[in-house]
Every structure is written in structure tokens, then in C-alpha cells.
Structure 1
Amino acid sequence: MRDEWQTEAVRRVEADPDAIHLLFPQAERKGGPGARRALLKALGGDHATIRNLYERGDSGERLAILTVLHELDSEGTAVDLVEDALRTNDARLVAAALGPYGSAWLDDHAFRQGVLKCVFMSIPLAAVTGLERRFDAELARMLSDYAAELRPAGRPVPGDVLERI
């Protein structure tokens, strides 16, 4: 039944992209975990609609968009959505923001701040796509400074931070 719903929903979005506004919020419930991704792909790169869905969406809808952005936008035009996710306190959104799309398009400063936010929020650094490629002396310094603040306070330094400093 879920496959049928997803197939029909994709067909509707391909025929009328505005249909996604009705279908996207109910997609996971009616079509299963991959339905939102399928609907977004059916938009065919309609960045304005994707932005609108993100801005009006709940956390689950935003998460779906962030996790598929790297498949939808090869030009970095939606990096502001990633920056928005990094300003939230939702660990799922922060981790998704540092997935393949964020790793590819965030500038160095924003990427480093995102990694530090992951550490603050106890998000394992393994969740950060491209960390080894983007790791630099400035990020090492920032993590080292953070560890230096934790030690006198008697707080443990996360193991994945210790491995990198």
C-alpha cells in the first residue's frame, strides 16, 4: 500500500509540482521513509519550492530536505538552508547539516563552527561528512581550546575530539 501511495504521489508531483505542498507533510506516514526523498526528486530541481517546503516544514520535513540536498542541488544555491539548520538546537538537523551537502558548500568558518556545535551537542564527529578532508589547523586549535576549557571544569573531553587534537 505504501509503494502504491508513493508511486501515485510522485506521479501527481511530476504532473503538478504544487501538489507537493499537500503530499509532502503526509509522505512519511502514508508512503514510508523514502517517500519524501522520492517527492523531492520528482520536483526536478525546483529550488524555490524546496526552499518553501523547508521554511514551512516541521523538523522531520526539514530533515528529509537536508539529507537529500546533495542530490538536488549541485550548485550550492541552498547552503542557507544548511546554515539555518546549524542555528537550531535539534541534533538531527545539525548532524544532517554537516552531511554531504554542507560539507561540500559551507565556507570554512561555518563548517568549523558546525563541527564545534556538534561537539557541544554530543553529536559524534563521525556524523560529519568530509571531516578528514576539511580538517585544518584552525579547527584543531578550536577543538583544543574547547578541550582546555573542559578539563579544569572536571568535565570529560569527548574521545573523538581527543583523537583529533
Structure 2
Amino acid sequence: MEPHIPTALDRQLTLDAQRWLTDAVARVGQDPAAVRTVFPAVGRHCGRGPLAAGWTVADAARARLVAALPLRGGALAEEVTDLHRYGDAAEQRAVLRSLALLDEADASFADLGLPLVRAALRGNDTDLIEAALGPYAARRLDHDGYRHAVLKCVFCGIPLDRIAGLDERADRELARMLADFAHERVAAGRDVPADIWPVVRAHPGTLEASGLPEETDSPVPERRDAAVRALAAFTATAPAGAA
């Protein structure tokens, strides 16, 4: 969770909502099973509107409840997994956004939240996919899993700047995968998401190896035009003053 989110939540909540959430946090701290009752009630008591950085008020309030659970390791993972399993989409999103908090607070939590991340990535709910690819996934997904998660976002139209850790984790293999994806799009006469080009450009030769540039000579007008547009967008990502 971004450091400013808790402060933003406190400013957004009404006095009644603050009292309710404070009481709910205390109840969860005394009895972990209480989270099963208060977690679904958050939206009704605290609100569901947008907060900051893609978070909603309900996301942040639910994250506070999850962080209050006096559990560790497998017991914590089991309780959080049940919240996810039996929750609606908004509750599932909040659980996914909370994984980084649990990981930071409890070293024994470690990889125990990855099944929830993978479940979100198997689906097509873009809100859940985006929530799953926060700081926890950036730390815990293996290289292949992270690469395929990025590709899933590209297929689903999720902007890559919403994926945590991309600057640190993007490697040549991911660049190759994105360049091949771009070639497939161009071969179908379709446009390519512009935000893949900085990753491809960071690894020279991957664009050329994909075969995309040759599509400018295609006898099929749609492919040729799509290739020209793609290469123009790639060129536009060059740093100022680059040749």
C-alpha cells in the first residue's frame, strides 16, 4: 500500500465511518473470525468511492481489517483465502491489494498468497488482474510467471504503468515476448499498444528478431500500414537526441 493511502482514507471517512472501522479493527484484533462479518460490511459503512492511486475507500478500509488479523503464516493465508473465496469482486480486489501488507508484516506469509494472484490472472476481470499485480506479485512471482502476467495485461488492455515492478523486472525475454506479440498484431492488421515499446527498446535487437520490420514490405495493405504505424510508435519512444 502506498504510504499516503491510510492518511487519505482517514480524511475521507465520516466520523461515523471512522468509529465503525475503529471498532471493527478492534474486534478483528481480538477475534480473527470477526473479519468474516465485518469485511463484507465495509462498503455499506465506509463507502465505495475512489480514494487514490487506483484504490477505493472500501479497498483501503478492508486492507486495514486484514492487517489487523492476529494470525501468521498458514493460518493467516487460510483466513485471507476464505475472504477471497467467499467474497464478491470488490472484496476479492481488496484481498489482492492487501497481500503486500501481509507479506511485509509477516515473513512467514511469503509465497502463500500466490495462489490468489494466479487465480486472478487466469480470469478476465481487469480490476482483479490489476489488483493482483501490485508490489506483492512484483516480489513473489517467478520470472516466467511475471512475464506472462505482463503479457496478460497487454492482451486485456491494462496499461503497463499500473503493473508494479516493471522497471526492475522487465528483461530481454519479456521484451522478446512483447515484440512477438506486436508482430502478431501487425500481421493481423491491428495496432499495437504503445506502452510496450519502452520495454522492447530497452533490449536492442528484439524488435528486428520478431520480424515485424519486414511487414512494411507486405503485399497486404492492412499489414503494411499497421507495420508503419507500429514502427513510428517505436521510434517515438527514442530518448531525445538519440539517433
The interval holding the TM-score normalised by the smaller chain is: over 0.9
The TM-score with structure 2 as length reference comes to 0.65
* 1:88 equivalenced with 2:123 (yes/no): yes
Pairing 1:40–2:66 present: yes
47, 51, 54: which one pairs with 2:81? 51
Supply the distance in 1 between the matched residues of 2:199 and 2:77 (Cα, whole angstroms).
Answer: 37
Write the deviation string for residues 76-123 of structure 1: whole angstroms up to 9, x where unpaired: 221111111111111011111111001100111111111000000110
Moved more, 115-124 or 37-46: 37-46
Deviates further, 149-158 or 44-53:
44-53
RMSD over aligned Cα atoms:
1.2
- The percentage of counterpart residues that share the same residue type is 44
Asked if 1 retains the 8 angstrom alpha-carbon contact of 2:32 and 2:70, the reply is no
Distance 1:78 1:157 in 2: 33
In structure 2, give the amino acid aligned to 1:146: F
Aligned to 2:22: 7
Matched residue, 2:241: none
Aligned equivalents of 1:139, 1:44: Cα separation in 2: 39
Letter in 2 for 1:98: L
What CA distance in whole angstroms lies between the structure 2 residues aligned with 1:38 and 1:125? Answer: 27
Give the corresponding residue for 2:194. 159
TM-score normalised by length of structure 1: 0.95
Asked which structure has the greater CA Rg, the reply is 2
Aligned to 1:66: 96
d(CA) in 1 for partners of 2:191, 2:27: 52
User: What's the CA shift for 1:42?
Assistant: 1.0
Higher relative contact order (CA 8 A, sep 6+): 1
Say which of 153, 173, 188 aligns to 1:138.
Answer: 173
* Distance (Å, rounded) in 2 between the aligned partners of 1:127 and 1:97: 11
How far off is 1:152 after superposition? 2.0
Letter in 1 for 2:78: A
Task: Between 113-122 and 155-164, report the one with greater CA deviation.
Answer: 155-164
Q: Any gaps of 5 or more consecutive residues in structure 2?
A: 1-15, 48-56, 201-243
Q: Give the paired residue count.
A: 165
Cα separation, 2, equivalents of 1:16 and 1:79: 25
Q: Which of 14, 18, 38 is the equivalent residue of 2:33?
A: 18
